[in-house]
Structure 1
Amino acid sequence: MNKALDMLAAAGIAARTHEHRAVFTVAESEEVRHEMPGLHCKNLFLKPVKEAGPFCLATLKEDRRVSVNQLARLAGWPRVSMASADELRDALGVEPGSVTPLGLVNAAPGAVRFVLDAAIAEGDDPLWCHPLRNTASTAILPRDLRRFLEGLGHQVLVLDLTEGETR
């Protein structure tokens, strides 16, 4: 039983899950994706540095290189830093290494600001992300992910991050 997968199914959204060994980084995921064609992502779970406010989750194309503060500026967020493992567990109900946009099923609307990289949002290929655990990956069409999250009450901000990329 998996809350995110059950909710996708209840919403009538097609998703396909592939089981694999635990992966904690994009580099490790490259070793298990031979049966997972499509878009792959990395996820950043952030918190405001100097003010109370909602956490921030960014789902980026896996090879996107952008500083967290440049990302925050582009998204209109305050200055941010990486959130702690405890904050991640409390907000999204997942462990480090399992950060996923599907974790928003465990967050109240408005509790987490969400940004989706335009390079993903505008794609027609399936996006692979963890289904609340890093021992599997689930493929979902980006437009279906957006529709699903918006249906849960989460605003999805799509950003073109090419101008914020670092080399």
Structure 2
Amino acid sequence: MPKTTADLHDYLDVLGIKVQTVTHPPLFTVADSQNLRGEIAGGHTKNLFLKDKKDNFFLVTVEEDAVVDLKTIHTLIGAASKVSFGKPEKLMEYLGLIPGAVSAFGAINDTHHQVSIILDEALMRHEIINAHPLTNEATTSIHRDDLLKFLEATGHEARIVSVSTAETAPA
């Protein structure tokens, strides 16, 4: 059974990691998040659950407005081939998450280390990172160093890789 938000917060407490969580109605898209979140400081995330042809799975976490080239990202993240989106069943099996609630906090459920965690270098420039705490009905703010500490405690060595470009408004 996947961990709950309460389980996640208990785990973070055990690790001595302080976070701030704001609850809100369910959010399913970046646009929903931008419209509802108000003034939550820091970098806000977008997450891509990807797989290659050899069934290697990757969670790529970038800034919400980042552009990721899915045709070439495999060369940056160490995939064995071009990637596609992982199926919701594998997302639940490995990270205990449903689409719309995906975040690096899902690593707490990946006890067999089936998913490689990739954090975009541009996102990691933010001191505070905001992500769903295993549900899309809340946003949790965590210090970037504490996010790395959390991932390490779950047995995941997150790789920080430049995988995106910032989205620019059309002229």
Q: Same fold (TM over 0.5)?
A: yes
Cα separation, 1, equivalents of 2:161 and 2:123? 10
Distance 2:112 2:152 in 1: 9
2: CA distance between counterparts of 1:2 and 1:166?
A: 34
Cα-Cα RMSD: 1.7
**The one of 64, 75, 94 aligned to 2:97:** 94
Contact persistence 2:61–2:103 (CA under 8 A): yes
Does residue 4 (structure 1) correspond to residue 8 (structure 2)? The answer is: yes
Match of 1:135 in 2: 137
The structure-2 alpha-carbon separation of the partners of 1:166 and 1:130, relative to structure 1 and needing over 3 Å to count, comes to closer
Q: 1:19 to 1:166 in 2, by over 3 A?
A: closer
Shift in Å, 1:165:
6.9
C-alpha change, 1:89 and 1:123, in structure 2 (3 Å) is same
The alignment partner of 1:69 has SS state of coil
Mapping of residues 21-60 of structure 1, within 5 Å:
21-48=25-52, 50-53=53-56, 55-60=57-62
Listed as ranges, the matches of 1:12-161 within 5 Å are 12-48=16-52, 50-53=53-56, 55-78=57-80, 79-124=82-127, 126-161=128-163
What residue identity is the alignment partner of 2:122?
A: A
Is the 8 Å Cα contact of residues 50 and 58 (structure 2) preserved in structure 1?
Answer: yes
What amino acid is the match of 1:81? Answer: S
Deviation of 1:166 after TM superposition, in Å, equals 8.1
Which digits, 9 at most, give the CA deviation of each residue in 1:12-49, with x for residues without a partner?
0010000001000101101111131211010001111x
Q: TM-score, normalised by structure 2?
A: 0.88
Give 3-state SS (helix, strand or coil) of 2:98's partner: coil
Q: Which whole-Å CA distance do the structure 1 matches of 2:61 and 2:145 have between them?
A: 14
Unaligned residue ranges in structure 1 (runs of 5+): none
Q: Alpha-carbon deviation of 1:73?
A: 1.1
Q: TM-score, normalised by structure 1?
A: 0.90
Number of paired residues?
A: 163
Residue 91 of structure 1 aligns to which amino acid in structure 2?
Y
Listed as ranges, the gaps of 5+ residues in structure 2 are: none
Distance 1:138 1:99 in 2: 13
Deviation at 1:143, TM superposition (A): 1.1
**Contact residue 56 and residue 113 of structure 1 kept, 8 A:** yes
